Structure 1
Amino acid sequence: MTLSPILDAAPVIQAHVAAGLLAILLGPVALYMRPGTKTHKITGYVWVSAMAALALSSFAIHSFAVIGPFSPLHGLALVTLWSLWEGVRHARAGRIAVHRRIYMNLYWFGVIIAGMFNFLPGRAINRALLPDTPDTGFVLIALGVAIALLMVLRPTLRKLWRTSALHG
């Protein structure tokens, strides 16, 4: 492991990585702690700020350009910014279940699954964490996507299992 690909990167990439790490680490704290507490609210606001910084900084990164300077990841950044706004709006309106669902999906799909693609060979995270075996990134991507999908689908799978256990 070597941090030089990140430390030698442009400042916007360094800011993007820092915001991403903060979002990865704070997401579970905000999502899985008791809602409504002061700690939940503070952690949530910091997480929303990190996610906004993550999304906004992506517009200055063009290494994966497909259409002019933009890529599908920039579309994801727009969805992220909209989702952040919607999550706050629903929380303020007292629609906590919707607020929770928006942020749960944003964490698992917008942070974890999208973040896993930083393990593609050639990307700074891959070069930093897997300098000797960059193709291992494909295995990590598949594993990360599978875990994230299981976490998102877990409530549905649990209901299906209960239903089949009752009728089986």
Structure 2
Amino acid sequence: MDLQPLLSASPVIQLHAFAAMAAFALGGWVLFRRKGDAPHKRLGRVWVGLMTIVALSSFFIWEIRMLGLFSPIHLLSVATLWSLFQAVRFARRRNIKAHMRAMQALYLMALVLTGWFTFMPGRIMNRVVFGPDGAGPFESAVFLAVSLIVGALSLWLVRRAGGTRRRPLAA
């Protein structure tokens, strides 16, 4: 693992990547810990802030240009911002089931799935994890297999934890 490709990238890419990594770690923690208490709310606010930074900073990353400065990936950022708004609104309206589903979907789609694409050949995170030459066919296949297994296991654990450790938000 070599952080040099990321540290050599533009400041906006660094902000985007480090905010995404922090959101990934914090989001995983919040999804598996007790729900509805004061720490859950505080950590959730921090997570929403990190995700907002990730989504907004993406609008200033123009490496894949298909529509002027933008690409279809930027539509995911719009969807992320809208989903964050909806998820927070659900929590404020005490629609906890919808809030939980929206947050789980955001974590899985906006961080896990899209994060996986950052490891594709030619991308900065591919060089960070696999070295300056990136991953070869064997490393890519192993990475894909492990990613799918970890993703399936994470989804199962989140669903399992959501049914047994959840508490309604306090008024």
Please report the TM-score for the alignment, with normalisation by the length of structure 1.
Answer: 0.84
Q: Deviation digits for residues 60-99 of structure 1, max 9, x if unmatched?
A: 0011222221112101000000000000000000001100
> Which is bigger in relative contact order (C-alpha 8 A, separation at least 6)?
2
Distance 1:142 1:69 in 2: 33
- What are structure 1's unaligned runs of at least 5 residues? 157-168
Residue type at the aligned position of 1:29:
W
* 1:32 matched to 2:32: yes
* 1:78 matched to 2:78: yes
Task: Determine which of 140, 143, 146 is the counterpart of 2:143.
Answer: 140
Q: Counterpart in 1 of 2:51? A: 51
Paired residues for 1:49-128 under 5 Å: 49-128=49-128
1:64–1:71 contact (8 Å) kept in structure 2: yes
Q: Would you tell me which structure has more helix in proportion to its own residues? A: 1
CA gap of 1:140–1:80, structure 2 versus 1, over 3 A, is same
Distance 1:153 1:113 in 2: 16
Q: Which runs of 4+ in 1 moved over 3 A?
A: 149-156
State the Cα RMSD in Å.
1.9
- What are structure 2's unaligned runs of at least 5 residues? 161-171
CA gap of 1:15–1:81, structure 2 versus 1, over 3 A, is same
Cα offset, 1:144, TM superposition: 2.0
CA gap of 1:142–1:56, structure 2 versus 1, over 3 A, is farther
Mean alpha-carbon deviation: is it higher for 135-144 or for 107-116? Answer: 135-144
Residue type at the aligned position of 1:86:
Q
Give the percent of matched residue pairs that are identical in Structure 1 and Structure 2: 40
Q: Counterpart in 2 of 1:164? A: none
Mean alpha-carbon deviation: is it higher for 131-140 or for 51-60? Answer: 131-140
The alignment partner of 2:57 has SS state of helix
Distance 1:138 1:112 in 2: 17
Please report the TM-score for the alignment, with normalisation by the length of structure 2.
Answer: 0.83
2:122–2:134 contact (8 Å) kept in structure 1: no
Cα offset, 1:152, TM superposition: 3.8
Mean alpha-carbon deviation: is it higher for 32-41 or for 112-121? Answer: 32-41
* 1:23 matched to 2:23: yes
The alignment partner of 1:119 has SS state of coil
